[in-house]
Each structure stands twice: as structure tokens, then as C-alpha cells.
Structure 1
């Protein structure tokens, strides 16, 4: 028997999700909800605000990586015409 980690505090069956998706999202209280099929997570229902925050965080991480890669490089002045 294999086990599957669930990365959410709330989990529901796919049948419950079909019955009333908005109630399922509300049960998560703003956090993702694991949707299970035969007790195995098949996907996560993520509220829009949480998804948007996740995307913002990923963008910030990518920008931070660019900053770290460019640290120590000489800077140069450019004009608006060069852009």
C-alpha cells in the first residue's frame, strides 16, 4: 500500500466537489483544498486570491534570482532612446 502526501489542511472527495464546489472552496478558508479520488489526491482547488498570491511570489523569486545573477556586474547608464 502506498501513501500520498496531501499538501492541504482540507481534503474532500471528488463527489463532494461535484455536489457543491463553492462550499468546498469555502471550507478551505482561503487556502487550497485537496480533491481526492479513492483517497489519492488528484488535484488541488485553489481560491483565486491564493493562486494570485502564489504567482506573485513566483515572479518575485524569479526577479530575485536575476538580481543575484547580476550582482557585481558593472552598471552602465543608458538613455531612453536606447531602450
Structure 2
């Protein structure tokens, strides 16, 4: 049995009937099921934007870690 990583779920057949109602009812992630197995997740736009922002932050943190041993370069504002 697979874990469902959402508080709510809906069958794919039911989603096809009225996707707008599902989106409007969703207060968080919704697992889309096919034969009682999760095949996709529907998440609110705000949640997706927060995820993307967090991934960007993690990527920048990795760049900072990789460069932490490098020598600093002095630059004047006029040179930019």
C-alpha cells in the first residue's frame, strides 16, 4: 500500500466530472487516485509558489556553501 501525502483525496474519474469544484474545495494538497493509488497531487498555487521559493533558497545556499572557501574580490561600485 502506498502512502498518500495529503489530507484529502479524490478519484481521477470524479476529478474529470468537475475539476473546478475540486479546486475550489481544496484547502491544501489533494491526492488524485487511480484505482486507489496516488497518481498525482493537486496543490494550491500559493503552496506551489512557496515550494519554488524554498527550492530557489536551497539552491542559493548550496552555491554559497560551495563558494565559502573562495577568496573575496574587492569591487568598486563604479566598476560595475
Q: Fold conserved (TM > 0.5)?
A: yes
Equivalences, count: 77
> Paired residue for 1:15, among 13, 16, 27?
13
Q: Deviations over 1:47-71 (max 9, x none)?
A: 2221111111100110011111111
Residues 1:38 and 2:35 aligned together: yes
Distance 1:49 1:15 in 2: 26
Q: Which residue of 2 aligns with 1:25?
A: 23
Deviation of the 1:46 alpha carbon: 1.7
Counterparts of 2:48 and 2:3 in 1: how far apart (Å)? 20
- 1:4 match: 2
The 3-state SS of whatever aligns with 2:2 is coil
Length-normalised TM-score, structure 1: 0.81
Could you list the runs of 5+ residues in structure 1 that have no partner in the other structure?
Answer: none
1-structure distance, mates of 2:18, 2:47: 20
RMSD: 1.3
